[in-house]
Structure 1
Amino acid sequence: MHENDISYLIRKATFTIHSTLGPGLLESVYETLMRHELQKAGLAVECQVGLPVLYDGLRLENGFRMDLVVEKAVVVELKSVENLLEVHHKQLLTYLKLSGHKLGLLINFNVPTIKEGIFRKVNGL
């Protein structure tokens, strides 16, 4: 399945969850619900995927944790914050760069309208 098709299904799950429950829940709740919705759609979902960091001969096994990796192709970083900061966008771009994945979605559930909370990031796609 192409990254864009996976992205569509991720956004669909996001809209379903947000329209049913709205904003204001913990990020961990949204992560569990996203995994559930995506698995219902037949997608393979990994949660809290460790991402090693290599630096000057050192290897930090769990330097980062990606919230979701869908179909081993799309990284999803979930937030439930009042305002996304530039560092949140940079965080996802770093995950894409270090993991070699080409597409990522930054999703902030703490917004009145969920389309305002979805940001697409690419790494050479």
Structure 2
Amino acid sequence: MLHEKVTEQILKCFYRVYNNLGFGFLEKVYENALCHELAKQGLRVNQQTGIPVYYEGIIVGDYVADILVENSIILELKAAEGIRNEHLAQLTNYLKATEKELGFVLNFGKKPEFKRMIFTNEVKSSLSRV
């Protein structure tokens, strides 16, 4: 599995934060708490990382990923009823716009839930040739 050890640490931290804070806070509270937990595990963490979007070689927009772990894994945090298709589309676009291949939508809703998404660079490069 891609980034298996780090993935395991991320999910343990996600559930630790959820079990301590529970449901009902703003996403930013969960983001700060999760970054604290991830850093305690010795992981490199960046919050609110800008992701430029290119079109024909020029920057046409910017996304902002909630958390980037080990400069490899994008975390998109939600505090919603459930993970929706729009959340998955958002993460897909983050992965498409970068060389990152793995991302998670982590939802701190009434029930904690997550979705793991892989978008390999091999697939990205084949799409750009179409």
Q: Same fold (TM over 0.5)?
A: yes
Per-residue CA shift, 1:7-50, capped at 9, x if unaligned?
Answer: 11010001101111111110000000011000000000000000
Which moved further from structure 2: 94-103 or 49-58?
A: 49-58
* Aligned-pair CA distance for 1:58: 3.0
Q: In structure 1, the residue corresponding to 2:59 is in which secondary structure?
A: strand
Gaps of 5+ in 2: 122-130
Matched residue, 2:63:
64
Alignment of 1:98-109 (within 5 A): 98-109=97-108
RMSD: 1.5
Quick one: structure 1 residues 53 and 9, their matched pair in 2 at CA, closer, same or farther if it must change by over 3 Å?
same
Partner Cα separation in structure 2 for residue 74 and residue 58 of structure 1: 25
Matched residue, 1:5:
5
Partner Cα separation in structure 1 for residue 120 and residue 66 of structure 2: 21
Structure 1 residue identity aligned to 2:70:
E
Alignment of 1:1-125 (within 5 A): 3-60=3-60, 63-112=62-111, 114=112, 117-124=113-120
Structure 2 residue identity aligned to 1:84:
I
Partner Cα separation in structure 2 for residue 44 and residue 34 of structure 1: 12
What TM-score, normalized to structure 1?
Answer: 0.89
Partner Cα separation in structure 1 for residue 31 and residue 115 of structure 2: 17
Structure 2 residue identity aligned to 1:32:
N
* Aligned-pair CA distance for 1:56: 3.5
List, as ranges, runs of 4+ consecutive aligned residues in structure 1 with deviation greater than 4 Å: none
* Aligned-pair CA distance for 1:57: 4.4
Which is greater in Rg? 2
Gaps of 5+ in 1: none
Per-residue CA shift, 1:76-100, capped at 9, x if unaligned?
Answer: 0000012322111011011111111
Matched residue, 2:126:
none
- The count of aligned residue pairs is 120
More RCO (CA 8 Å, sep 6+): 1
